[in-house]
Amino acid sequence: MASFLASSRVPMSVVMVLFTLASLMGSSLGNFYQDFDIVWGDWRAMILNDGELLNLNLDQASGSGFQSKNEYLFGKIDMQLKLVPGNSAGTVTAYYLQSKGSAWDEIDFEFLGNLSGDPYILHTNVYSQGKGDKEQQFYLWFDPTADFHTYSILWNPQRIIFFVDGTPIREFKNMESIGVPFPKYQPMRLYSTLWNADNWATRGGLVKTDWSQAPFTASYTNFNANNSCVWFNGSSSCDTNNFSPPSWLSEDLDSANLDKLQWVQTNNMIYNYCTDAKRFPQGFPPECNMS
C-alpha cells in the first residue's frame, strides 16, 4: 500500500487515515503486545509468536496474569484458551471482565483444575455493585487441554450471555425492574490469571496442588474485541451520531440458540445457585423466580 500511495497523488490527510485504518485492522486480529499488559508474575507471563500467543505459568513461588489496555462498557469479546493439561488439581485459570472500586461489577469464567482424567469444572458468576453469589457450574463436553477453544462474553444493556465455541451456556438477563442489580454503568477491563487455589478449587480443597508437575501453563490466542464499546476519557466509542448502533448491543438468543442453551443446562450443568435450597433457606433470589 505504501508504494501505491507514494506513486499516486493522494492527499496526505487521506494517507494518514488509511494507515490508521490499516493499523486498527491489524490490531483487530488480536495482538497481545498491542491489546494487553502483563501485570503479575514477571517472566511467568510470556507473549510469543510476534504477539499472537500468550502463555501464563504457575509455579510454587507465584502465578501470573494480564489485563487489557482498554476498558469496555458493553461488548462481544472472544478469546481462545488452552487450559493446563494433566494433573491440574488446585489450579484456577480465571478469565473475566471487572471494573474498579469497592462496588465493582464483574463477569466471570473460572476453570477449576482437576486430577488427570477428571473433567475441568467451568465456574461462572456475575457481580454487580460488589455482590455476586450467582454461580453456575458446568462440565465441558470436550477436553479443554487438548486444543484451543473459544470462550466468549456478550454483554449488552439487556443481558449477559456466556458462550463456549459459539454455544450459549448461560444467560443472565437485566432484571433491574424487580430490583436485581445489573452491570451496565461501570466500564470493565478484561483480565486473566493463573493461580493456586488448592484450599478450595478441587473437591472443596481436599485435593492439593502437586508441585512436582509445575510449571503449569495456560495458553491464549485470537483475542477479538472488535464488537465492543471502548471506554476512554469518560466516553464510549459507541456514542456517535455517525453510525447506527451495532446489532450486538440488542442481540438476543434466537430459537436455535435457546435450544442449545437448554441442552447444555440439562446435560452439562452441575451447580445452579437458583436450585440450592440449603443456601437460601429464606427463599431464592428474585431472579430465580423468573422464567
Q: Which listed residue (106, 171, 176, 251) is catalytic?
A: 106
| Marked catalytic residue, from 52, 71, 110, 251 | 110
Tell me whether residue 287 is one of the annotated catalytic residues.
no
Give me the DSSP letters along the chain.
-HHHHHHTT--HHHHHHHHHHHHHHHHHTT-HHHHEEEEESGGGEEEEGGGTEEEEEE-SS--EEEEEEEEEEEEEEEEEEEPPPS--TTEEEEEEEE-SSTT--EEEEEEE--STTSPPEEEEEEEBTTB----EEEE-SS-TTTS-EEEEEEE-SSEEEEEETTEEEEEEE--GGGT---S-SS-EEEEEEEEE-TTTTTGGGTSPP-GGGPSEEEEEEEEEEEEEEEEETTEETT--SSSPPPGGGG----HHHHHHHHHHHHHTEEEEGGG-TTT-TT---GGGG--
52 is catalytic: no
Give the residue numbers marked as catalytic: 106, 110
